[in-house]
Structure 1
Amino acid sequence: MRLFFAAAVLALPTALHAEPMSLDDALRLAETRAPELQAREAGLDAARSAAIAADRLPDPKLNLAIQDFPVTGPDAGRFNRDDFTMQVIGVSQDFPNPAKRRARATRAQADIGIARADEAVTAQDVRLATALAWVDLFYAKKRLKELDLLDAGLGDLQATVTARLASGAARPAQALEPDQLRAAINDRRSALAAEIARARAQLARFTGDPVADTAGDPPPPTVDEATLRAGIDALPRLRALDARTLAADAETGLARADKRPDWSVNAAYGRREPNYGDLVTLGVTIDLPFFSKKRQDPKIAARASEATRARLDREAAKRDITAALDADLADHRMHHEQLGNARSRLVPLAKKRAELDLASYAAGKLDLGTALLSTLALVEAEVDALAREAEVARDAIRINYIYGETGR
């Protein structure tokens, strides 16, 4: 039903999702439309179906035979001329030992756990990529808006230059300086337009909306370090390694079960020439694992070593995640400090300098080029502050989505 619903959603017209979307809306769309998640769901369904048959008995076997048919002597090639030839019909049933059947069931359940853990890892990756694309698009649009505001203000400045040229208070070359600044702004606008296109393409890749756009504000860039550290063991990537460790243990149990004999029962009915009586055969076949030191024991040791490796890989992964969390938290603190410095010092200083230089230009004490460079520096400071704000938001999303999503 989930796969059917997802296919139905994919078939809906794009116009249904053409409006700007909040971050939560984008995440919900990605969870419904991302093909990776649908593939993992199909894999989980496959594992569940396979588990149904894991510990079942093998199918019975039907045996049809002509037994003791003469090929030499006076009765060669003839049926029912002696008391040996029989038409036999029989059935047999294999019975793997109970330990082996339990081990197969455990292995099948481990496969379900692996499929479920892989689905959780993929869901985490999809949500993270979607959220980062949304934030990148949001802040790229915001930085572009700052450039547009500067570009709009150049019209007033151009009028001022024209008036000064008419009065003879400015050199003719100064009439070109606003256009030069506008050209520099256009270069930055082109870069931001490309950044917007990349972010929109990434957002469309997961939401399925080719004209994906943002609405609303990003979440607060807060991080609860204590909660993140307490939940490391429940992270999807470690749960996936836990599932693989259980699968390795199940393989070890399956190898140990090979030391116990399997057995089978069979029954057959033999029909002979009417002058002789028919025969019934009943039998039991039992495996004899007499040479376990050369057969089963090496396999058990190999599987046990693989289980040990799985546990060590899990421990190594936990250490890697802990170290990565420490590094990401350090970067987040650094970006917070840089953002605070931009807001409290760099932008106010650039704004004050631009105001003073424009006032000096208006008073005829400063050339227009220097005043314009100060104005451009102010815009660059504001755009840089937005870039730092975006970095802080990206940090918070990465940290919360990578280290904090334990229940999905």
Structure 2
Amino acid sequence: MIRPQLKRISCWVCAVGLCVGSAVVAEPLSDQPGATGSLSLERAIALARQQDPWLEGNRHAEQALNDLSVASGSLPDPKVSVAFANLPTNTWDFDQEPMTQFKVGVTQMFPRGDQLALQRKQLQLSRAGKPFEREEREAELRRRVSWLWLEAWRTQESIALINRNRFLFEQMLEITQSSYSSAVGRTRQQDVIRAQLELTRLEDRLTQLQQQQDASLAQLSQWVGDVGEVAAQSDTGPAFRAAKPAYELPRALPQITRLAPAQLLEQQHSDWQQLASRFLEHPSVRKLEQDILASHAEADLARQRYKPEWGVNASYGYRDDDPMGNQRADFFSIGVSFDMPLFTGNRQDRQVSAAVAKVETEKTRKWLRLKTMLSEFDEARAQWQRLNERHELYKSRLLPQMHEQAEASLTAYTNDSGDFAEVMRARIAELNAEIDALAIAARRQQLVAQLNYYFAGSVADQTGESHHE
């Protein structure tokens, strides 16, 4: 009688531990303040924007195109020539022959047709696409940083969840070992081995999650870390800075504000016509539209090659007095030169044809980009809808049922009508369900960040207050 009672007491202690563990597991689903000085999602996105060298390089590229557009609209520099003409080779005397002269000339070329204006227009259109590139880059930063941050948060909370439940598996191992060594009840050696095995597998799972967390944080450092050159110089070369913030993520799961209209997210089948009209405002599509306009200007520029290029030249020839002292008149010359684009079949025609083909290429890039965005939006929206269904299923039914199953199997084992392996399976299933619930919560927010990317520019700040669902 004493041994079964000892076994029941030990199992009831374990049952209390399971109940406490379930309450602790549910802790991430309650409101918690973020850690002081932690790397929140909002701060990570702000750091990525602030410290992205690509954005700074794009601004320099825009300035370069602006300067080039001004330079390309200017006339080419005039050419000056200086020469001694018609010197006699027998004496090399400057005053011997009447045609000997010191000649200074200047030549100015005038480009074909509207070449200057079109060159400037093409570069200005290319420059106008740079702000769209930066806007698309910032949207991509928000998407990538959000994705990596939420992945790191998922692994962090999964590790914390397993650590909070680890003592339960250790306690169950101690109970089975104690029961087996004292021959109390019907504890078998395979129960002890099973408890040891599950604890070892739990440690292996912790190692896998820590590996995933390290990888996510390492990838996140590409965006939030700061590397750059500083003004100070050293003996070994230019000095530079390299730093990254501390990776202490807050416990709270941030809720990312959805930019897509609710009716678009709730649709089972997208209206591509409606979506396309919205996606045409996406910065990546608008950048391609600028590329199309620039390629049109390039085609117009190629057509100018059918027109002649003109040149005006003028020269002044100074002559010395003759040997008798008589004064000689100086010479002044002026002329016009131009080329004749007569044989255009293998040159001008081909250049225009290539420019027109480039216009069509840019158009296909635009429609291909739009088609890709429509398909990716449909995929992300469908995943988000199904994850919402799974979230409600886990919250309302699956997690409570898993907990009830764990308690029922433990009660059965306490009453000598159940199997210890079933107790372990039920507890592991409950823990896996809690980890899956965390993954679903993080994945939902990742998909919101993905969906927001397609509506870039609608709202400047895409993250709301951090709180748990």
Give the stretch that moved more between structures: 334-343 or 367-376.
Answer: 334-343
2:261 maps to which residue? 224
Conservation of the 8 A alpha-carbon contact between 1:339 and 1:385: yes
**Match for 1:82: what amino acid?**
E
**Match for 2:249: what amino acid?**
T
Residues 1:54 and 2:90 aligned together: no
Conservation of the 8 A alpha-carbon contact between 2:113 and 2:308: no
Aligned 1:117-156 pairs, distance under 5 A: 117-156=132-171
Query: How far did residue 102 of structure 1 move?
Result: 1.1
Residues 1:179 and 2:196 aligned together: yes
Query: How far did residue 265 of structure 1 move?
Result: 2.3
Residues 1:399 and 2:399 aligned together: no
Aligned 1:159-238 pairs, distance under 5 A: 160-161=175-176, 164-165=179-180, 166=182, 168-171=184-187, 173=189, 174-208=191-225, 209=244, 211-215=246-250, 216-220=252-256, 222=258, 223-224=260-261, 229=275, 230-238=277-285
1:9 maps to which residue? none
- Mark the CA change 1:187 to 1:48 in structure 2 (over 3 Å): closer, same or farther: same
DSSP 3-state at the match of 1:219? strand
Q: Match for 1:311 among 354, 360, 363?
A: 363
Conservation of the 8 A alpha-carbon contact between 1:106 and 1:250: yes
Structure ranking higher in helix proportion = 1
2:422 maps to which residue? 370
Mapped partners of 1:62, 1:42: distance in 2? 35
**Match for 2:214: what amino acid?**
A
Residues 1:353 and 2:405 aligned together: yes
Residues 1:43 and 2:90 aligned together: no
Aligned length: 387
DSSP 3-state at the match of 1:88? strand
- Mark the CA change 1:163 to 1:291 in structure 2 (over 3 Å): closer, same or farther: closer
DSSP 3-state at the match of 1:59? coil
Mapped partners of 1:133, 1:317: distance in 2? 24
Conservation of the 8 A alpha-carbon contact between 2:309 and 2:338: yes
- Mark the CA change 1:279 to 1:161 in structure 2 (over 3 Å): closer, same or farther: same
Give unmatched runs, 5+ long, in structure 2: 1-35, 226-243, 266-274, 323-327, 461-469
Identity among equivalent pairs (%): 22
Conservation of the 8 A alpha-carbon contact between 2:88 and 2:96: no
Mapped partners of 1:96, 1:107: distance in 2? 16
DSSP 3-state at the match of 1:258? helix
- Mark the CA change 1:243 to 1:177 in structure 2 (over 3 Å): closer, same or farther: same
Conservation of the 8 A alpha-carbon contact between 1:221 and 1:393: no
1:12 maps to which residue? none
DSSP 3-state at the match of 1:80? coil
1:15 maps to which residue? none
Mapped partners of 1:121, 1:99: distance in 2? 34
Query: How far did residue 128 of structure 1 move?
Result: 1.7
**Match for 1:106: what amino acid?**
K
Mapped partners of 2:421, 2:341: distance in 1? 93
Mapped partners of 1:280, 1:172: distance in 2? 120
Query: How far did residue 213 of structure 1 move?
Result: 3.3
Residues 1:271 and 2:318 aligned together: yes
Q: With the length of structure 1 as denominator, give the TM-score of the two structures.
A: 0.86
DSSP 3-state at the match of 2:94? coil
1:105 maps to which residue? 120
Mapped partners of 1:190, 1:302: distance in 2? 57
Mapped partners of 1:113, 1:98: distance in 2? 24
Conservation of the 8 A alpha-carbon contact between 1:203 and 1:212: no
Mapped partners of 1:398, 1:347: distance in 2? 28
Give the stretch that moved more between structures: 367-376 or 185-194.
Answer: 367-376
Mapped partners of 2:87, 2:387: distance in 1? 90
Query: How far did residue 87 of structure 1 move?
Result: 1.3
Query: How far did residue 291 of structure 1 move?
Result: 4.5
DSSP 3-state at the match of 1:168? coil
1:83 maps to which residue? 98
Q: With the length of structure 2 as denominator, give the TM-score of the two structures.
A: 0.76
DSSP 3-state at the match of 1:84? coil
2:46 maps to which residue? 28
Alpha-carbon displacement from aligned partner over 1:52-88 (angstroms, at most 9, x marks no partner) = 21201111211111222234xxx45443310111111
Mapped partners of 2:221, 2:287: distance in 1? 28
Query: How far did residue 23 of structure 1 move?
Result: 1.1
Aligned 1:243-282 pairs, distance under 5 A: 243-275=290-322, 276-282=328-334
**Match for 1:129: what amino acid?**
R
Q: Match for 1:96 among 111, 117, 120?
A: 111
RMSD of aligned residue pairs (Cα, Å): 2.6
Alpha-carbon displacement from aligned partner over 1:212-262 (angstroms, at most 9, x marks no partner) = 332343224744365793520011221221121112101111012223333
Mapped partners of 1:322, 1:171: distance in 2? 60
DSSP 3-state at the match of 1:169? coil
**Match for 2:302: what amino acid?**
A
- Mark the CA change 1:295 to 1:358 in structure 2 (over 3 Å): closer, same or farther: same
Mapped partners of 2:186, 2:51: distance in 1? 61
Mapped partners of 1:157, 1:327: distance in 2? 44
DSSP 3-state at the match of 1:277? coil
Conservation of the 8 A alpha-carbon contact between 1:94 and 1:263: yes
Conservation of the 8 A alpha-carbon contact between 1:134 and 1:203: yes
Mapped partners of 2:186, 2:84: distance in 1? 118
Conservation of the 8 A alpha-carbon contact between 1:65 and 1:89: yes
